[in-house]
């Protein structure tokens, strides 16, 4: 066990890579359970960032959740680096802010209580009671409840923004991580200017056919256009954090990949 209960529905956990992280005690998802058991979440992506994120880099965390990758990247980029985190869930936001503060990362970290989308607007956002990693702008369907039968979903309204807006303000970004449970297509629409102008070196995104739903094919078409017109390539990452290039047909033959790395 790599943590213990500290009250207020929180577990205090100790990741393998250092630092400390609070997690929701009631959460039945992978973040809390993997942190408690192994001290690491998404081991391949974790090792990739440890190998590639350098002091002075800029990292955007879209769908920061409780801040696992926000804190990891904040430690890696150092005092001269910058981390910008986006998290629309109020419940996750409180833990995210505490995790950033507890690890003394406030001076290098921005936190925004917004969803990442294709435009600045107000969105319906569906919040899971028991699985914090499944919050989404897409309404949970019958298939979802086959896997998470004991869950309860609450609808709230959240504000959204685009990645282009942040990248334009900063000028250049080294890494963007996008894990927003089916809104990835909209996130790409909202950063097309940055991608065309090559202002982002690497984009990390989750590929999840069930959560993308009707936007699965649209995302494939968009990524194909980026590859053909601008030379972007796609990679999977192994547990050691090493990249393996993959074609788009191979990529979309998988219903789920937790981390796809897209590079210019």
**Domain 41-263 belongs in CATH node 3.40.50.1100:** no
User: Do residues 119 and 191 lie in contact, with contact meaning Cβ atoms separated by under 8 Å?
Assistant: no
7: β partners: 10
Among residues 87, 94, 43, 41, the alpha carbon closest in space to that of 68 is found at: 41
What average pLDDT does this structure show over 97-121? Answer: 99
pLDDT in tens, 19-77: 999 999 999 888 989 999 999 999 999 999 999 999 999 999 999 999 999 999 999 99
Tokens of 45: 């992506």
Extents of the domains making up the chain: 41-263
- 51: Cβ–Cβ under 8 A, 6 or more apart, which residues? 241
| Strand extents, DSSP E, the chain | 3-7, 10-13, 21-24, 58-62, 82-86, 109-112, 115-116, 122-128, 153-161, 173-178, 200-208, 233-237, 243-246, 256-263
Find the helix or strand (DSSP H, E) in which 221 lies.
helix 216-230
Q: What does R_g of the chain's alpha carbons equal in angstroms?
A: 17
Q: What is the mean pLDDT of the chain?
A: 96
pLDDT at residue 149 greater than cutoff 90: no
What average pLDDT does this structure show over 144-167? Answer: 92
Instruction: State pTM to two decimals.
Output: 0.96
**Segment among 68-72, 144-148, 165-169 with least mean pLDDT:** 144-148
Among residues 77, 45, 66, the alpha carbon closest in space to that of 206 is found at: 45
Tell me what pLDDT residue 146 has.
Answer: 81
176: β partners: 60, 203
Tell me what pLDDT residue 254 has.
Answer: 98
Q: Pairing mode, if any, of strands 233-237 and 256-263?
A: antiparallel
């Amino acid at each position: 066990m790599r943590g213990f209960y500290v009250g207020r529905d929180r577990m205090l956990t100790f990741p393998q890579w250092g630092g400390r992280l609070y997690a929701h005690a009631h959460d039945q998802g992978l973040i809390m359970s993997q942190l408690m058991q192994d001290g690491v979440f998404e081991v391949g992506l974790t090792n990739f960032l440890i190998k590639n994120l350098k002091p002075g880099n800029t990292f955007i965390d879209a769908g920061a959740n409780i801040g696992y990758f926000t804190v990891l990247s904040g430690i890696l980029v150092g005092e001269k680096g910058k981390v910008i985190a986006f998290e629309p869930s109020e419940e996750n936001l409180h833990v995210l802010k505490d995790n950033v503060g507890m690890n003394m990362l406030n001076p290098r970290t921005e936190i925004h209580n917004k969803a990442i989308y294709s435009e600045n607007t107000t969105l319906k956002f569906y919040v899971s009671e028991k699985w914090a990693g499944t919050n989404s702008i897409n309404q949970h369907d019958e298939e979802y409840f086959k896997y998470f039968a004991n869950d309860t979903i609450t609808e709230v309204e959240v504000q959204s923004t685009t990645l282009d807006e942040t990248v334009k303000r900063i000028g250049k970004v080294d890494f963007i991580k996008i894990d927003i449970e089916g809104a990835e297509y909209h996130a790409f629409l909202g950063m097309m200017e940055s991608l065309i102008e090559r202002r982002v070196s690497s984009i990390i995104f989750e590929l999840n056919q069930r959560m993308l739903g009707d936007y699965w094919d649209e995302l494939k078409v968009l990524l194909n256009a980026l590859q053909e017109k601008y030379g972007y390539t796609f990679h999977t990452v192994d547990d050691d954090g090493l990249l393996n290039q993959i074609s788009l047909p191979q990529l979309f033959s998988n219903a789920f990949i937790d981390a796809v790395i897209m590079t210019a």
